[in-house]
Amino acid sequence: MKHGKHYVESAKLIDRTKLYDSNEALELCCKAAKAKFDETIELHVRLGVDSRHADQQVRGAVVLPNGTGKNVRVIAIAKGDAAKAAEEAGAMMVGEADLIAKIQNEGFTDFDVLVTTPDMMGMVGRLGKVLGPRGLMPNPKAGTVTPDLGRAVTEAKAGKIEYRLDKANIIHCPIGKASFGSEKLEKNLATLMDAIVKAKPAAAKGQYIKSATVAPTMGPGVKLNAAKFGGQ
């Protein structure tokens, strides 16, 4: 794969054979983010589990102390007091059957997070085919199916992110923007890694965190000294 000039220049800053401490790695990421927009810094963690087994799934959600730097668009499917709480917390759109129909019949997915209450999941479950492939389906483990919709909306807008394994046993998550600087990014990184380590399944054997890399949207990755995070 051929890379552009900026990528090649950024790659020269990084020693591919070295495992960096998080602060140094994130400083390099910020320097490597040379695009004309404020690049997202992403964390990629390979785990020593097998996602094909239900007892080795790793999934959860965590609020990043410095947010993600993104304006998070939250919608809520709810009624009564829960709908009112979601609206007051700043949900972009709140509805019941009407909003479900908009998603199901019109393919409306112009949002980042969907929150709902447990009593509405019977209806929301019908949206699995539309929302599932896009990673937008609400889930109790992610805190997006809850009776407290006001809190769910507030947390989502404040920088709550969901982490989960892909088929290659890797977790991919944003930890902020290059403009944050290494100090804020490091706090977000530590919070996310702590959550992933705590989510280690009892069935996981051997080394849990195989490798961890941080990278800007358009730039090269920097390998982290994953042993520093524990979870071995």
> Given a cut of 90, is residue 2 above it in pLDDT?
no
Residue with tokens 């690049």: 39
The CATH architecture assigned to 74-158 reads 3-Layer(aba) Sandwich (3.40)
* Average pLDDT of span 127-136: 91
**Quick one: fold of 17-67+160-229?**
Ribulose 1,5 Bisphosphate Carboxylase/Oxygenase (3.30.190)
pLDDT digits (tens, 9 = 90+) for 194-231: 999 999 999 988 899 999 999 999 888 999 998 888 65
The pLDDT assigned to 14 comes to 86
pTM of the predicted protein model? 0.81
Look at residue 34 in the predicted model and tell me its pLDDT: 86
On the CB side of 200, CA atoms within 13 Å amount to: 19
pLDDT at 148: 96
- Residue spans of the domains in the chain: they are 17-67+160-229, 74-158
Domains 17-67+160-229 and 74-158 share a fold: no
Over residues 8-42, the pLDDT tens digits come to 676 777 888 899 999 999 999 999 888 899 999 99
How high is the pLDDT of residue 13? 76
pLDDT of amino acid 141: 84
Q: What is d(CA 81, CA 148) in angstroms, rounded to the nearest whole number? A: 10
What is the SS3 assignment for 148?
coil
- Mean pLDDT on 74-85: 96
